[in-house]
Structure 1
Amino acid sequence: MNYKIIGDSDAPIVDITLSSGETIKVERGAMAFMQNVSLQAETNSKKSGFGGLVGAIARSAVSGESMFITKAVGQAEGARLGIAPAVPGKVACLNVGGGNQYRLNTGAFLACDDSVFYNIKRQDIGKAFFGGTGGLFVMETEGNGQVLINAFGDLVVLDITPNAPMAIDNEHVVAWEASLDYNIRVASGTFGFMSGEGLVNEFHGTGKVIIQTRNVHSLADAVAKYIPTSNN
């Protein structure tokens, strides 16, 4: 995937150049501009036909993502596609392949090569609170190629080592290496919810966790008090 990130660094657009016949997958609704590109809506599943439809429905129900994904196909050499994330923030590229795969939190996916997939992975009951909509399932990449992810705010990479596990707030986790293990716990003991921190993910092992510097829910809570309601 040949791309460059243009525009404001805090609210960028990704300008992708495609060869004739080259295909990439794009988050539904992310297209900002295109030239010599055709867009095709397909069910969000590796399978075709009825089995693919059932799989897409299942993915949507358990992960909160759309049943459909957009495939962009270059119709000529030098075709261009501009894509923009739903929220202001940085965009980064993950190189995946072989043993180097990632798990993505809800809303992190922006685009990927056609050779990359992301699948449902069932979690243990004790991890069912991970993310906003993941529940018992999270998404894991598969295949070889590039994946573009987006964040609300900046992106920061944290290194986890066996002798130094790290607790990270659910709402700040964007992606993490699939080799890492983690468990869910209350941030500050029995009365953690009273401190306002709630649940955190404590990551163990060796690998990287990519976090965002802001989270949408905190912003929503901050502005909610200024939004008029029918009672005031």
Structure 2
Amino acid sequence: MPIFTVTGEIDPFLHIHLRKGEKVFCESGAMVMLEAVLRVKGQLRGGIGRALLRRLASDESLFQQEIEAIDDGDCLLAPTLPGSIELLQVTPTSAYVLSDGSFLAADIGVEVRPQLNTLGGGLFGGTGGFIIMKARGNGQLAVSGFGAIFTLDISPERETVIDNHHVVAWSSDLHYEVGMPNSGSGGFFGTLVNSVTSGEGLIIRFRGRGKVVVCSRNRSVFRPQPSV
């Protein structure tokens, strides 16, 4: 099995060691370095239909890169936006849902495919619109977030509320709803006014048992400084 290692404390690389015959796939443009014994090619993973749905679902490209080891070798990958990388273990009983642009790389045994979102998530966006990405199978999955990354353990005892644009990935067994922060009074209008005046937009309410990976930055409000 390929060995995934996150290296570097600020804007890290994903280092992958592959033995002869092993394969991984990654987001198009993620490759920084690979040894000559590795081969890289573009792939329409899952066929043209799923590739088109994947493109509609997120910021990922139509084509993905497949890296195959002709002999033992290493490669370095990096996400598009500056930020941390988190390694998740996908198993037949532990799948993950991915938010827009969070996929970086995975073992060939992991399938990342589109599925229908909830009505709320589809209407309000931020998690992929009406089509979202689900990673299932068996192997390692690398996701990236804008800024620092932290993994939350969600328990059934209490509901956890997270800003929509800070969610990177979550356990597929978790129940989630997209909505507005609860103001505590005033009904729908009061909630709407509170959402605007507090500066908090849409949130996701998670219930159940599982993990949610969050990032510290909101890329929807990020504005690069103009060059002087």
Q: TM-score with structure 1 length normalisation?
A: 0.87
Deviation, 1:175, is: 0.5
Distance 2:164 2:33 in 1: 33
Stretches of structure 2 that go unaligned for 5 or more consecutive residues are 184-190
Q: Does the 8 A contact of 1:10 with 1:153 survive in 2?
A: no
Matched to 2:93, the amino acid is G
Contact 2:56-2:131 at 8 Å conserved across structures: no
Using the alignment, how far apart are the partners of 1:214 and 1:149 within structure 2? 15
Cα distance per residue 1:2-23 (max 9 Å; x no partner): 133223x121112211111111
CA 1:131–1:209 in 2, change beyond 3 Å: closer, same or farther?
Answer: farther
Deviates more, 1:142-151 or 1:158-167: 158-167
1:137 is the counterpart of 2:131: yes
Identity %: 33
C-alpha separation in 2, matches of 1:210 and 1:4? 18
Mapping for residues 11-160 of structure 1, pairs under 5 Å: 11-35=11-35, 36-45=37-46, 52-77=47-72, 79-129=73-123, 131-132=125-126, 134-160=128-154
C-alpha displacement at 1:133, in angstroms?
A: 6.4
Size of the alignment, in residue pairs? Answer: 216
Q: Does 1:200 align with 2:194?
A: no
Q: Which amino acid aligns with 1:54?
A: G
CA pair 130-115 structure 1, distance change in 2 beyond 3 A? farther
Q: Does 1:216 align with 2:211?
A: no
Partner letter of residue 2 of structure 1?
I
> Following TM superposition, by how much is the alpha carbon of 1:117 offset from its aligned partner in structure 2, in angstroms?
0.6
Contact 2:121 2:127 (8 Å CA) reproduced: no
Superposed CA offset, 1:74-101 (max 9, x none): 1212x11111111222111100112111
Alpha-carbon RMSD across the aligned residues, in angstroms, is 1.8
Residue 45 of structure 2 aligns with an amino acid whose one-letter code is: N
User: 2: distance between equivalents of 1:53 and 1:13?
Assistant: 30
Partner Cα distance (2:123, 2:154) in 1: 21
TM-superposed CA distance for 1:198, in Å, is 1.2
Deviates further, 143-152 or 10-19: 10-19
> Who is 2:157 aligned against?
163
Q: Is the 8 A contact 1:157 1:210 kept in 2?
A: yes
Contact 1:27 1:110 (C-alpha < 8 Å) held by counterparts: yes
Q: Normalised by the size of structure 2, how large is the TM-score?
A: 0.88
> Structure 1: which 5+ runs fail to align?
46-51
Residue pair 1:185, 1:199 contacting (<8 A) in 2 also? yes
